[in-house]
Amino acid sequence: MDNRAAAFQTACMRRFVILLVCTLGAPLAAAAAEPPTVEVWKSPTCGCCTVWVRHLEAAGFQVQVTNLVDVAPVKQRFAVPPELASCHTARVAGYVVEGHVPAADIVRLLREQPRIRGLVVPGMPVGSPGMEGAGARPYEVLAVDDAGATTVFATHEP
């Protein structure tokens, strides 16, 4: 290949890359501006679940709620370890979100995109979003990896 052919090929390649960035970049930028929809499964009578949904909406998330008398099969389907379970289960961008996880931690999850199954707040700690009230105590948001092992993702003080 002579120099001119090589230069032409490089120019073509550069144009191709620019085109690729332009076509892929626009929808990605739009996606970044608009947070993805959060799907939530909860019991129809769960009050704290509804307050948590309102908390997500107030933070700018679109939320799609499915009411189910028995949420356990959903937790099983998304491989939420039973000992880490809470009242409601959610999915966003392929991650599972179990329990009263603050919206700010979901925003961080979507920004950092760690290789984990999702985030959980086991039980229903008083002081977490949707569980406001007297007797708030510190609680942790845990990251669950694909093996079901946990690490602390965030700690929240009352």
Catalog residues that contact Cu ion under the rule CB under 5 A.
48, 87, 124
- Judged by beta carbon, residue 80 or residue 149, the one nearer Cu ion is 80
Angle, helices 47-58/103-112, rounded to nearest 10 degrees = 60
- The distance of closest approach from Cβ of residue 87 to Cu ion in the complex, given in angstroms and rounded to an integer, is 3
Question: Residue 146's CB: how many other CB atoms inside 10 A?
Answer: 9
Residue 8 CA to residue 22 CA, distance in Å, equals 21
Which 3 state secondary structure label does DSSP give 101?
coil
Nearest distance from C-beta of residue 101 to Cu ion, angstroms: 11
Scan for tokens 């909406």, then name that residue.
57
Residues in contact with 131: Cβ distance below 8 Å, sequence separation at least 6, in sequence order: 48, 51, 100, 124, 125
CB 119 to Cu ion: min, Å:
15
User: 25 or 44: whose CB is closer to Cu ion?
Assistant: 44
Question: C-beta of 111: minimal distance to Cu ion in Å?
Answer: 25
Q: Which is nearer to Cu ion, 38 or 48 (CB)?
A: 48
Q: Which CB, 25 or 158, lies closer to Cu ion?
A: 158
